[in-house]
Structure 1
Amino acid sequence: MNKLFLIIAIISILMTSCQSDSKKYTTVDSSIMSEKQTGYTAPDECFEYVKDKSTASLRMYGTGDNKVLGELNYKFDGKDKNNGVIYGLIKGDTIIVDYKFQSEGMYSHREVAWLRKGDQLIEGYGDVYQVNGDTKFKNINKLTFGKSIILSKTNCK
């Protein structure tokens, strides 16, 4: 029941952010949300990154059919923290998501990719471009993995 409440809260946040600037933000893929709400209960997975005073945390909710949604937070030393939600697809050992987040009171939207290696998610980097203020990868097939952020699986809290 708590998971259902969390999912409804995420939907509400996304819908509110989408309505605040309808040109800039799109709605969440309804098929992902409807699958999670109908009771599909793939296990949650949690990951974290900790280095010195910088942290990142990810909680993913599998929805079946290689779709994923969840929460992603970055807090890097000397930078503003980012808190938001993800939704996207799992393609083999690669996870590609849209990340809608808030930082400094502003909403932003960018793509994030990870390569799964055992109990780790290695964040991918590559050339990006802007589309209506959203940041997208130019070519998903040319991403570089392993430069800095490696999330390790942890127990969900």
Structure 2
Amino acid sequence: MKKLIPFCLLLACIGFQSCKNDEKQKELEAAKAEGEKVVKTECYKAIYEKDTIDLDLYTLKNGKIGGGMIMKVANAPERTGEIAGEFKGDTLFIDYTFKDTEHKDTKFKNPMALLKKDKQLILGNGTMQTTMGVTYLVKDKPIDFENVKYKFNSVNCE
């Protein structure tokens, strides 16, 4: 009988703890859903010679950025995909995950950096490196925002 009492207490404690974990999980999921609400939408277009890039940005309540981008570059397949990232100061660092019209079954992912200057976003040229299949901008190398092709101007969202 003496051994049964501690065993019952242990089971009761485990039961109470599991209820607390369920409550914490529900609170975390609710906070995540709240942080993923769109609070601002902006649209941009960059035109350079025969190239056109359309960019839609969605600012989420948690400060992250999402959206979509369509790249129509001369002599290259059209690329359509999604972006995800965040601002660090006045620079937006994003990952562009896309498919192109030639390789419809393959997804590609490229890092990009866009400098926000007045009402423009300027796509920078940076040194990229691929390690273990992941491409990223090299941290120690500066990103050039002066000698660039693509400057995005704000446009009305459709």
Q: TM-score of the superposition, structure 1-length normalised? A: 0.71
Structure 2: segments with no counterpart, 5+ residues:
1-28
Q: Are residues 118 and 63 of structure 1, via their aligned partners in 2, closer, same or farther at CA, if it must alter by over 3 Å? A: same
Q: Residue 121 of structure 2 corresponds to which residue in structure 1?
A: 121
Dislocated runs of 4+, deviation >4 Å: none
Shift in Å, 1:148: 1.0
* CA positional deviation for 1:126: 1.2
Which structure would you say has the larger Rg? 2
- Gap change, CA 1:141 and 1:65, over 3 Å in 2: farther
**Secondary structure at 2:75 match in 1:** coil
Match of 1:63 in 2: 60
Q: Match of 2:156, as an amino acid?
A: N
Tell me, yes or no, if the aligned pair for 2:46 and 2:52 is still in contact at 8 Å: yes
Query: Aligned to 1:62, what secondary structure does the other structure show?
Result: strand
Counterpart-to-counterpart distance in 1, 2:59 and 2:140: 21
- The aligned runs of 1:16-55 (5 Å cut-off) are 34=33, 35-36=35-36, 40-55=37-52
Partner of 1:9: none
> 1:101 maps to which residue?
98
Query: Structure 1 142/46 Cα, relative in aligned 2: closer, same or farther at 3 Å?
Result: same
SS in 2 for 1:125: coil
Would you say how many aligned residue pairs link Structure 1 and Structure 2?
124
Residues in 1 aligned to 2:113 and 2:57: alpha-carbon distance in whole angstroms: 13
**Which is further off, 127-136 or 106-115?**
127-136
Unaligned runs of 5+ in 1: 1-29
Contact 2:127 2:141 in 1 (8 A): no
Contact 1:43 1:61 in 2 (8 A): yes
Which residue of the partner structure matches residue 70 of structure 2?
Answer: 73
**1:85-140 residue CA offsets vs partner (Å, 9 max, x unmatched):** 01111112110011100022221011011000011000011111113333211127
Equivalent residue number for residue 131 of structure 1: 131
* 2:84 matches 1:83: no
Shift of 1:152: 0.5
Counterpart code for 1:154: V
Deviates more, 1:47-56 or 1:140-149: 140-149
Q: Deviation string for 1:57-92 (max 9, x for gaps)?
A: 100110033310000111011111111001111112
More strand by share: 1
Q: Counterparts of 1:112 and 1:52 in 2: how far apart (Å)?
A: 21
Partner of 1:155: 156
- Percentage identity across paired residues of the two chains: 27
- Taking the aligned partners of 1:66 and 1:84, their CA distance within structure 2 comes to 21
SS class of match (2:154) = strand
